[in-house]
Amino acid sequence: MLKIRKIVCTTFMTLLSVSLTLAGINGVSYADGGTVTGAVTVPLPKFKKDCVVYIENVPGNWPPTAGAQINQKGLIFIPHVLPVVANTAVEFLNHDNVLHNVFSPDKIAEKFNLGTWPPGEVKTYTFQQLGAATLLCNVHAEMEGYVVVLQNPFFAVTDENGSYTIKDVPTGSYNLLVWNKKYKGKPKQIVVNTGQSFQADFELKK
């Protein structure tokens, strides 16, 4: 009887440790995940950078993105494009010696307007709805940035070569999408397997 109890207990502990490993440290990293990687091509090379490649839906309740910040520095929004998980509070910082403002004309961001503030102060807006929100500054008409609000943290921003890599993606079949401020690309069906890399390239067009 004691022996059976010991076996049951050992089995339970093994299952517990396996499920903890699968859940990962913060619930985002998967020990049995795979990689999705590739590149985008666009009609104008300067738009290769700052495309967001993301998985449309990954089952689960994904926590907001930690440390999400956009700086206003040298009259530029940095980063130019910031992908976040829904319900992320993005901090807006002013690093210039002038007043800046941040507002969005987009419905998915409730057309928020954070007012005008000097360097040193921080304003925050929580993005709740999925989609892309344009950021503008009513003091400097040339300033423009984007927050792309997503369902899960399995996304990447393309570099100047148009390349991207999404790591630790849970095993499964998904829709892979791409967002660009100017061009559009067709969704791709992808299959992610443990320890493997899936290649997905996008050709963006008008």
Amino acid at 10: T
User: In the set 73, 80, 123, 140, which binds Cu ion (CB under 5 A)?
Assistant: 140
CA nearest neighbour of 148 among 74, 36, 51: 51
User: In the set 139, 159, 171, 193, which binds Cu ion (CB under 5 A)?
Assistant: 139
Q: Which stretch binds Cu ion (CB under 5 A): 50-58, 124-132, 133-141, 194-202?
A: 133-141
Q: Output 86 or 139, the one with its CB closest to Cu ion.
A: 139
Say how many Å lie between the first and final Cα of the chain, rounded: 71
CA nearest neighbour of 81 among 152, 203, 179: 179
User: In the set 33, 65, 100, 154, which binds Cu ion (CB under 5 A)?
Assistant: 100
Torsion angle of alpha carbons 66, 155, 37, 196, nearest 10°?
Answer: 70
Amino acid at 67: G
39 is a site residue for Cu ion (CB under 5 A): no
Cβ 54 vs Cβ 190: under 8 Å: no
Q: Output 6 or 95, the one with its CB closest to Cu ion.
A: 95
DSSP string spanning 72-108? Answer: EETTEEESSEEEEETTEEEEEEE-SSS-EEEE---GG
Interface with Cu ion in residues 141-180 (CB under 5 A): 143
Q: Which residue is nearest to Cu ion (CB)?
A: 137
Q: What are phi and psi of 120, to 5 degrees?
A: 100, -30
User: In the set 132, 136, 137, 178, which binds Cu ion (CB under 5 A)?
Assistant: 137
Q: Output 42 or 136, the one with its CB closest to Cu ion.
A: 136
Q: Which stretch binds Cu ion (CB under 5 A): 11-19, 108-116, 122-130, 137-145?
A: 137-145
Q: Which stretch binds Cu ion (CB under 5 A): 102-110, 139-147, 183-191, 197-205?
A: 139-147
Footprint of Cu ion (CB under 5 A): 100, 137, 139-140, 143
